[in-house]
Amino acid sequence: MVVPDPQAAEALAERIGALRRQRRAVILAHNYQRPEVQDVADIVGDSLAMAREAAKTDAQTIVLCGVHFMAETAKLLNPDRPVLVPDPNAGCPMADMTAPRELAEAKRQHPEATVVAYVNSSARVKAMADICCTSANAVRVVESIPAEKPILFVPDVSLGEYAAEVTGRENIILWPGFCPTHHHILAEHLQARRREHPDAEVLVHPECTREVRHMADFIGSTSQMLRHVRESPKRTFIIGTEFGVCHTLRKENPEKEIIQVSSLADCPDMKLTTLQKVTWSLEEMEHEVHVPKDVADDARRAIERMLEVA
């Protein structure tokens, strides 16, 4: 990761502040963004929180610091305003593991299945799903589907497997997608951190492998981890997710010790967004994200169904 020069970062942050006022923009940053990008954002959160909070603002432009599917989600919930991404190359390898044509084929093979799409999927895939879910509500979404109905869960095998474990559902067909960053977190990393901090509580994301999940004290999304650390009486926490979230955890809990599980828990796509690119994005009003209207209408319906049940 490029370490920013603090003076240059300060000058860029000031320039971003001036451009934000001039453009009447709101800046959203995902919990996995670089610390200095989180610090210039108006809203820091998970993908759904960012999209929903943006909808409440009267900003004319939305700048989304995250990856492509998050910008699409922000566009789905804010169809009348431009949504800009500072780096159009920032994608999500897991979202790319379900191509619409592959899903169409799987739906033909399982015509009776309810398709659940994790938000980490393209708008086209969401549009082909019956309902979406996030890592915070996957269990509730699965529980909302009648027990006799098979479920085709895309794209994350780990989140789908986790929801199956918690609900006891056996009729979930899992897609073989995964997050390379979360699968870089190994059982031996957790063991090593636990030896160093025997009193710590271990929190992991449901995108982690089953072996890692089974070693944790708490399994949850980034928003759930943030709440858990805020409310827990413990003093030390080992964090098993992309390490960007450690920035907010430390800011919110200065008296607590936040331990990153492994330096490998780094999402290169998330780190493509830099302060310089946020500045350019506001200067040039680029790169605008578009979702075709027919796709957007169907994808929004799948998100709205999720919001009704979870």
Among 111, 269, 247, smallest CA distance to 181 is for 269
Smallest distance, ligand CIZ to C-beta of residue 175, A = 16
Question: What is the enclosing helix (H) or strand (E) of 222?
Answer: helix 222-231
Smallest distance, ligand CIZ to C-beta of residue 221, A = 3
Choosing from 38, 61, 114, 222, the residue that interacts with ligand CIZ (CB under 6 A) is 222
Smallest distance, ligand CIZ to C-beta of residue 37, A = 15
Amino acid (one-letter) located at 119: V
67 binds ligand SF4 (CB under 6 A): yes
Interatomic CA distance for residues 205 and 213, integer angstroms: 8
Q: Which residues contact 228 (CB under 8 A, 6 or more apart)?
A: 203, 218, 220
Rg (CA), the chain: 19
For ligand CIZ (CB under 6 A), the number of binding residues is 12
Nearer to ligand CIZ, 113 or 306 (CB): 306
Binding partner of 135, given ligand SF4, ligand CIZ, none, CB within 5-8 angstroms per partner class: ligand CIZ
Smallest distance, ligand CIZ to C-beta of residue 20, A = 22
221 binds ligand SF4 (CB under 6 A): no
Nearer to ligand CIZ, 114 or 248 (CB): 248
For the chain, how many residues are written?
310
Strands 151-154, 131-133: parallel, antiparallel or unpaired by DSSP? Answer: unpaired
Of residues 24 through 53, those in contact with ligand CIZ by CB under 6 A are 30-31, 46-47
Among 228, 281, 160, smallest CA distance to 151 is for 160
Which string of x and - marks every residue 85-104 that binds ligand SF4 (by CB under 6 A)?
A: -------xxx----------
1-8's contacts with Cβ under 8 Å and 24+ in sequence apart are 1/34, 1/266, 1/271, 2/274, 4/34, 4/36, 4/274, 4/275
Contact by Cβ (8 Å): 243, 266: yes
Contact by Cβ (8 Å): 136, 220: yes
Smallest distance, ligand SF4 to C-beta of residue 262, A = 13
Choosing from 61, 78, 98, 221, the residue that interacts with ligand CIZ (CB under 6 A) is 221
Binding partner of 242, given ligand CIZ, ligand SF4, none, CB within 5-8 angstroms per partner class: ligand SF4
Binding partner of 260, given ligand CIZ, ligand SF4, none, CB within 5-8 angstroms per partner class: none
Residues near ligand SF4 (CB under 6 A) are: 32, 67, 92-94, 120, 179-182, 242, 267, 269-270
